[in-house]
Structure 1
Amino acid sequence: MYEVKKISAGILPTNTYVLYDSQTKCCVVVDPAFDGDKITKFIEEKGLKPVAVLLTHGHFDHCGGAKPIVEKYGVPVYGSEKDEALAASASKNLWGVFCHDCKITDYVDGIDSFSVGGFSFGVMKTPGHTPGGVCYFIDDIMFSGDTLFKECIGRIDLPGGDYREMMDSLSKIALIDKNYKVYAGHEEDTDLFHEFRFNPYLSAFKRSK
């Protein structure tokens, strides 16, 4: 059985998620934000065994805490090659926030799914907020990063943002017929069918079908 721990950190703040199997104790860390030590503390307290870091995109507030996790546990970092340079220069962010650069080791660009440490993830490319935006799916769980928020979507006015790509990504999400629990990069959790009804960006696509 999978469980999800949300850890919110930083000035923005960003939601980091630790997805873990309560039986095997294996876990993956999704979007490790600024406080890598806070994340590793939870991992140690629960006796978990990290097998990977997953990035929904390369912004500093979603990868800047990966380095302590990678160094401590020797795990791979999954993400899009299109955001490789963005993650690799996280410490040079426009906000002047201290964080670590992040090296993506395993690209998800050419695949629709992958398995690591007993976890099997679906992958949907969702550019718009950044060129390499990705959503991950497992069981009834969706990690949407900064593509989809509760009744809103991610910004497209930052460098690399693209309105047309965001609309294309949302049109793909609108085709999903399963009510995933949505764990977003910021603010509250939601579920996909709620967004189909109350998110004006998604509901517009649903009405057009």
Structure 2
Amino acid sequence: MTELARLKFYATQPHPCSYLSEEQATTLFLDPSQPMDAQVYAELSEMGFRRSGDHLYRPHCQRCNACIPARIPAEGFSPNRQQRKILNRNADLQVNACHPAFTEEYYELYARYIELRHADGDMYPPSRDQFSTFLVRDLPFSRFYEFRQAGRLLAVAVTDVLPNGLSAVYTFYDPDEERRSLGRYAILWQIGESLRLGLHAVYLGYWIRNCRKMNYKTQYRPIELFINQRWASLS
């Protein structure tokens, strides 16, 4: 175990919350001078931390604890009827593991996804610099999992491969392929990949009960939530 107590953390000033418009958010993040080590990252993920670009962070709000870390234990997962349909619907896709890189193919897919699916979010409008800073980081544990159909790029799951599981950093996909449910399929695929690699769980980031966009996360069962400093199964 790493001596986590020796690590330095910093907190941001309160700022508008991206998920709950009536709330102010504060973020706790690991000292940026700390090398991005997979073991440290894995241990912090057990405490609810996530990665964005070069930073490991977690919410640290004074008045609100709505952001709850969520993970899917891979070994106990059993797809429901709808999820089996999604798996079958995407059985024709090929998945390639690539190191993060900037390509026009990736960026064009990302930009279309943001413009058509998240024009109301804080990542709009997309830019090449934003894409690179957020997702294209030269980290030994980071992967771009490409989902292709007959060579055509339909989705990219940006995923960190850690000693304790896969951390689903971000997924972007072709917004015209709505019938495929590519975002949900990417999670299902990562659960299967965790099993194949002998890893414990897929870390999904934060679940917020009153945020409609987060509802999909609790459709995967079993799911564990980090509440009161421990992981507990959601009944």
Answer yes or no: same fold by TM over 0.5: no
Q: Name the TM-score, length of structure 1 as normaliser.
A: 0.36
- Greater RCO between the two (CA within 8 Å, min separation 6)? 2
Q: Name the TM-score, length of structure 2 as normaliser.
A: 0.33
Q: Which has the larger radius of gyration?
A: 2
